[in-house]
Amino acid sequence: MHTPHGPGAFVAHTGTDVYGPGKVLAVDGAHRRVRFTRFVATIRAEDLRPASPSEKREIQDWLRAKRQRYGGDW
């Protein structure tokens, strides 16, 4: 069975851009734990969409900057 927006997927919220783009950290049934550029949140999978290429670059650049500044796995 295909899990939409599985761990590691780059996503964005379907209803708002307030969160910024994000990366799925974990799956829990119908919910996804997502590291957005503004914060981490648990969002229903149906409220997420695949990130556009520019959104994907934005989150990748953001994650790279955080790793360089603080180390660790963001």
pLDDT at 19: 84
Task: Report pLDDT digits (tens) over 6-63.
Answer: 999 999 999 888 888 999 999 999 999 999 988 899 999 999 999 999 999 999 999 9
Task: Answer whether 0.75 is exceeded by the pTM.
Answer: yes
Q: What is the 3-state secondary structure (H, E, C) of the chain?
A: CCCCCCCCCEEEECCCCCCCCEEEEEEECCEEEEEECCCEEEEEHHHEEECCHHHHHHHHHHHHHHHHHHCCCC
